[in-house]
Amino acid sequence: MEQQRYRWIRKAALAGVLTLPVMAAGCGWFTPSESKAVDPPQGETGSAITGADGQTSAAATGSAEVSAQGEASGLTVYLKDEEGYLAPVTIQAKLDSKLTAEAQALELLVDGGAYAKLLPQGFSGVLPQGTQVLNVQVNEKTKLASVEFSKQFSDYNEQDERRMLEAITYTLTGLDGIQGVELWEEGERLQEMPIGQYPLDRALTRAIGINLEADSSVDYSLSTPVTLYFSSKTELGDPYFVPVTRLVPRTADKLTAALDQLAEGPLEESGLLPVWLQDVSVDKITQNKETITLDLKDEAYKKGDVAPAEMMRAVVLSLTDNAGIDQVQIKLNGASDFKDELNTSYTEPVSRPEQLNAFKS
């Protein structure tokens, strides 16, 4: 399953928004949820890399910096869980004041690295042991992050190659001012990955997807990627969200397709947990430049009943991820005057949370 999940899907399978409407399935408010509350997601200039001037000085040349006291309001990085999935994890700990946020985030991705003790139990970094972050520079005009690693970056197994790229890309593009990433190693710009030859001739963006999966019946060249958020649990029983990019038959309506797939649930062999409940159906979904409006229907709903918090958060995460819009107005049977299990009000549009999977230490 490991190789199947991370099989190579070239850029052609992930390019742009394609066309074929997909109907959304229904699911329910009143099915009891066993899930505990999950902390909701988080989300300067420089020239090209010129060489390795040393880890500390080079890493201190980025944009967003950790405070002088070493405090951070939460740094979200993409780590490998015990099932091999990448999941966003918000590290709420005293961080290194000598490093920029970009450099610190990448250091947290190093397996067994200097900051491994900050990671929650059951999660690990995906970059090879011993990898050093030599330089990180962000061009504020192009929003491109240029990252230089030491030679240890090439010491990995081929099956881990795509996971490494996804973790680096999603971690850095989750920071303000970064939309793309290019990779360097010991002063040389990488045109492809050294083991599996994944092409790096273009900047890496979130178009590469994360935790990629596709049914064998889907034609990659005639497909559309949609990113969904399902649930998982640590060995200690702590719940967390896992993003999955699923290839579906080509469609121009990514939001409807995303809700359809969210209702369909995770792949049976994945080990992930469904978030969409029975009896709720999608009536209508629209969007403008600032807000997605989702109308849900549930004939069994009674005024005063509460909505399932995990489903609501997964819906908000999935819709905002696919639309690139941070706000969702959710209505139930035409009204928005309801709350979820965590007392969140949906009278006004709700925003995509700034932090995700912030485990208590």
Whether the predicted pLDDT of 143 surpasses 60: yes
**pLDDT category of residue 187 using cuts at 50, 70 and 90:** very high
Mean pLDDT of 21-32: 32
Q: Where are the domains of the chain?
A: 73-209
* 197 or 24: which leads in pLDDT: 197
Triad 205, 355, 283: Cα angle to 5°: 80
Averaged pLDDT score across all residues of the chain: 82
Task: Please report the pLDDT score of residue 57 as a whole number.
Answer: 30
Mean pLDDT of 125-146: 97
Mean pLDDT of 121-143: 97
**pLDDT tens sequence across 56-91:** 333 333 334 444 334 445 899 999 999 999 999 999
Whether the predicted pLDDT of 33 surpasses 90: no
For the chain, percent of residues with pLDDT exceeding 90: 69
pTM over 0.85: no
- Which long-range contacts link 105-111 to residues 24+ away (Cβ below 8 Å)? 105/75, 105/76, 105/77, 105/171, 105/172, 105/175, 106/133, 106/136, 106/147, 106/168, 106/171, 106/172, 107/59, 107/133, 108/75, 108/77, 108/79, 109/77, 109/78, 109/79, 109/167, 109/168, 109/171
Label residue 118 exposed, middle or buried (CB < 10 Å: 0-12, 13-18, 19+). buried
Whether the predicted pLDDT of 204 surpasses 90: yes
Of 55-64, 75-84, 192-201, 237-246, the one with minimum mean pLDDT is 55-64
Whether the predicted pLDDT of 329 surpasses 60: yes
Task: Please report the pLDDT score of residue 48 as a whole number.
Answer: 34
Task: Please report the pLDDT score of residue 361 as a whole number.
Answer: 63
Whether the predicted pLDDT of 45 surpasses 90: no
Task: Please report the pLDDT score of residue 217 as a whole number.
Answer: 81
Whether the predicted pLDDT of 9 surpasses 60: no
Task: Please report the pLDDT score of residue 300 as a whole number.
Answer: 85
Mean pLDDT of 306-319: 95
Whether the predicted pLDDT of 267 surpasses 50: yes
